[in-house]
Chain A
């Protein structure tokens, strides 16, 4: 029989250290649903998703019950709707269909109201992007993402400029709910095709018919291990994080393979991300502080985060047959109790967060900023973040929430996993001339690296 100590360790991880499987995400290709008739395309999309996802929530609940490990979210991600709706132009009808599917299946989120415009925008892409604010304000569970840059093609500054406007419009349309629409909208550089995490999940054109991708979680488990390591060197800390990440990932791999079997889907990947929640004891910031920082955001944060991020990946890679998605520590400000308090005290600034995104997954995430921030400034923040991703050959993203009528000193609360956040200050220097120029920042050179 398995060692008693191991059994008790697992139970402790689940009961008191918030170990859970964050999400099982069913990734579905919708290419076979394309139709030039606005009614036909929505009908086909509805019936295809229902055919595969009807049992997603019951299967998730059953596995959670059998294994005794919480599976917090069940989600669906689909082929970018900009592609599926291009022939009919019925983008908003498809957004409504996705919401209907979410209502019917009971999934927490459905992602893929997305466009890939990192090199250029088709007419359909442009029309699609214009519909994002309305789609996000008229639905509750639909998530949207737009990829505006890639290492191979550079940064599409026309798309970057447009997304500043789109984020502002989304905020205005959902102003009565603290601009919650923006919490469901991500702008990416180097977006991945098999990401199970929201709001950026979509099924890339290179993916298969139906796959199950799993996102694990467990900052609390890593923190509990570090609490016992007073005086240990960082080498020892990296080793312990690897061991812990291995165990967490194995739980994810198990849930993923079982879910895929029960849903007649392929098993896709485990995303090795440490995803925090607003719950106390489930914080990435706490881990960094346990490594030895008095407060996250101070000097040393980037190095500690680099150590954590790398160790989590190294531990996780061996634990899973297929690793993918975003795979790294997440630093969403509003979803992490330690980040929230460091942002409130002023130790954690937007500038430091930007530096942190150079060494971890995934970007400037869930950051509330003053509602008066101009669209061009938001675009400039996106451009900076894209530059980090494109030059360093990694995924970066921006999920900013310019909350109408609120300013530095105010707070917003989104509830649930999205948490709450103080409004963080943004530089008031003007970048509008840069943003208005348009064009493409060419792809970076891959030699002569410095």
Chain B
């Protein structure tokens, strides 16, 4: 299953690295990544493939939430289907 990870928060050094390390640790492939900086606000969107993941979806969600708290940004993970459904005909 493919999921979209979004990270919103104040920019700082190493946000992408921190999240990429989590993905690597659990065998999750990062398929695509984009980031923008709006004023000081950091917005990153990452598409990940959970096919080979060694971690349960809800555990991963929890882990990302914890990591977000630690580095002071909001991290969400959602199934890609929701975005496809809402924005593609």
Contact = CB atoms under 8 A, between A and B. Distances in A.
A433 interface: no
Contacts of B86: 6, 10, 247, 250-251
Interface of A: 1-4, 6-11, 65-69, 247, 250-251, 253-254, 258
A66 B79 contact: yes
A8 B84 CA distance: 13
A54 B58 CA distance: 21
Given A11-B76, A67-B81, A68-B79, A2 B4 contact: yes
Interface string B6-43: 10100000000000000000000001101010000001
Contacts of A4: 34, 36, 43, 45
Given A1-B45, A1-B47, A247 B87 contact: yes
A251 B79 CA distance: 12
Which size class do B's interface residues fall under?
20 to 34
A251 B45 contact: no
Interface of B: 4, 6, 8, 31-32, 34, 36, 43, 45, 47, 57-58, 61, 76-88
B57 A65 contact: yes
Contacts of B8: 11
Give 7 nearest A-B pairs by CB, closest first. Answer: A68-B78, A6-B87, A254-B85, A250-B85, A1-B32, A67-B82, A247-B86
A323 B51 CA distance: 34
Given A247-B86, A254-B81, 8 more contacts: A1-B31, A1-B45, A1-B47, A3-B87, A6-B83, A65-B61, A67-B79, A254-B82
Nearest to A65: B58
Nearest to B2: A1
Contacts of B58: 65
